[in-house]
Amino acid sequence: MHLDLTGRTALVTGSTQGIGLAIAVDLARAGARVAVNGRTAERVDAAVARVRDESGGEVVGVAADVTTDEGTATLATELPEVDVLVNNLGVFGAQEALTITDDDWRRYFEVNVLTAARLIRTYLPGMRDRGWGRIQNIASDSAVVIPAEMIHYGVSKTALLALSRGFAKEAAGSGVTVNSVIAGPTHTAGVEDFVYQLVDPALPWDEAQREFMRTHRPQSLIQRLIEPEEIAHMVTYLASPLASATTGAAVRVDGGYVDSILP
């Protein structure tokens, strides 16, 4: 299977580390011109160098806080046309349900949902006019299996699934596809911090990971954390011409964590 994105420009938000960085590398390896995005120029420049080094592809960087109207305007000015939009940016963290304040709820909704909606509004019209485009929203198993320790995160990701389905209908018949990618428990630096919030911080990482999966994610069929590259491979496939008939879907890369026979 040859995934060729030559001639396409791909934007990955929140791509200076973790899953976003892995997605940027994978898209660049498939031939896309990739735009790395983060809030600070220093982190963006470092990520651009890493993506370029690991992929050998064409990479640009745009430092902009896309959770704001001003940052989105900056991004749109520097990158007026995008063929592949990957809304990866998101926040998460453990918090007892009854301590989640209104401000916490607003922050999770604004970052995890409204930011994606704003960027889709920015780039979908151009994709539709050109007759081709790919929009992907990086969701989570928490959208389906709401975790008791972070229900505000889970609810925001559930909303993201609905957002994707709705915009897929808006793009119907245009050559633009809109999908969600349901990522399962994934090994990133941020997740390492999260794991150590829930298990003994004195445990070595391998033991901590096993304890976390056994205690907090026992549904996983692969019984390990997913590597970011495994998420990236699915994103690259969905961005390719080979996935032209997949739209309005919530595609799982969750290690079998969600107990369902449907994707």
Can 257 be counted among the known catalytic residues? no
DSSP states of the chain:
-----TT-EEEETT-SSHHHHHHHHHHHHTT-EEEEEESSHHHHHHHHHHHHHHH-S-EEEEE--TTSHHHHHHHHHH----SEEEE---------GGG--HHHHHHHHIIIIIHHHHHHHHHHHHHHHHT-EEEEEEEEGGGTS--TT-HHHHHHHHHHHHHHHHHHHHTTTTTEEEEEEEE-SB--HHHHHHHHHHS-TTS-HHHHHHHHHHHH-TT-SS-SPBPHHHHHHHHHHHHSGGGTT--S-EEEESTT-S--S--
| Residue tagged active-site, from 108, 123, 153, 257 | 153
Q: What amino acid positions are annotated as catalytic residues?
A: 153
